Amino acid sequence: MMAAEFIIGAATPELFPADGLPETAFLGRSNVGKSSLINSLLDRKGLARTSATPGCTQAIQFYRVEERHYFVDLPGYGYAKAPLVQVQGWKHLIESYLTHRETLQLCILLIDARRGWMEMDYALQEWLENWGRRYIVVATKFDKLKTQRERFQLMSALRKADLKHPPLTFSAVTGQGVREIWQTILKTKTQPQS
């Protein structure tokens, strides 16, 4: 089993770990399945807190993997019932992380397979492009698409977003996609940042 431990939930940038280990960050709408993906990749059911209630993860959560890498669980966006101050706090925290974090090597942008791209996903993608961040797109909850037709429609919708890396699919229920996502993470670690 892979060694992984929770290090800190950081609500301000001063609390981010300072030991310089490379990081993979998980981003996406509230409730899309970020924490579930982290648990699946690490094969640890309750490590990252998951919840059926959107907006569960508020601070930026750092998990150290095998003493040489961080997985970073970012708070979700687009939760309609969140108070405005909270939305502004979210924006500030995420932007300072994505803009300044030198150890950030790869962003994993999660998209709900049933919904496809939504407005805020595009905004975030554009933001990642503008800041030259390396990222991949993962369509989660793939198990919820029951027919071939639905799956085909999703994949063609995802490809419209002009991605450098082809989108991957994932399900926390079936475990589908775990290996491909790991391969991408490991590959990124060995490539110099462009």
Ligand X SMILES: Nc1nc2c(ncn2[C@@H]2O[C@H](COP(=O)(O)OP(=O)(O)OP(=O)(O)O)[C@@H](O)[C@H]2O)c(=O)[nH]1
| Residues found near ligand X in the complex (CB under 6 A) | 28, 30-36, 50-52, 54-57, 75-76, 140-141, 143-144, 171-173
Please state the length of the chain.
194
Distances (CA, A) of 159 to 117, 125, 154: 10, 13, 9
Under rule CB under 5 A, residue 57 binds Mg ion:
yes
Of 34-42, 88-96, 117-125, 184-192, which part binds Mg ion (CB under 5 A)? 34-42
- Please give the residue whose beta carbon sits closest to ligand X in the complex: 76
Query: In this structure, are residues 136 and 168 in contact, taking their beta carbons and an 8 Å threshold?
Result: yes
* Smallest distance, ligand X to C-beta of residue 92, A: 17
CB-side neighbour CA atoms (13 Å) of 194: 9
- Distance of closest approach, residue 56 Cβ to Mg ion, in angstroms: 5
24 binds, among Mg ion, ligand X, none (CB under 5 to 8 A by kind): none
CA 135 to chain centre: 9
Please tell me the distance from the alpha carbon of residue 187 to that of residue 193, in angstroms, as a whole number. Answer: 12
Instruction: Tell me how far, at minimum, the Cβ of 141 lies from ligand X, in Å.
Output: 4
Q: What 8-state DSSP symbol labels residue 7?
A: E
The item of Mg ion, ligand X, none sharing an interface with residue 173, based on CB under 5 to 8 Å by kind, is ligand X
The answer to the question of residue 35 lying near Mg ion (CB under 5 A) is: yes
**Closest CB 191 distance from ligand X, rounded Å:** 27
What is the helix, strand, coil percentage profile of the chain, to 5? 35, 20, 40
Of 56 and 155, which has the nearer Cβ to Mg ion? 56
What is the DSSP code string of 60-96? Answer: EEEEEETTTEEEEEPPPB--TTS-HHHHHHHHHHHHH
- In the chain, beta strands by DSSP E: 4-10, 23-28, 60-65, 69-73, 104-112, 135-140, 168-169
What is the smallest separation between the CB atom of 130 and ligand X, expressed in angstroms? 23
Q: Please say which residue, 38 or 158, places its beta carbon nearer to Mg ion.
A: 38
| Shortest Å distance, C-beta 172 to Mg ion | 12
By rule CB under 5 A, what count of residues binds Mg ion?
Answer: 3
Is 40 one of the binding residues for Mg ion (CB under 5 A)?
no
Which of ligand X, Mg ion, none interacts with 2 (beta carbon under 5 to 8 A by kind)?
Answer: none
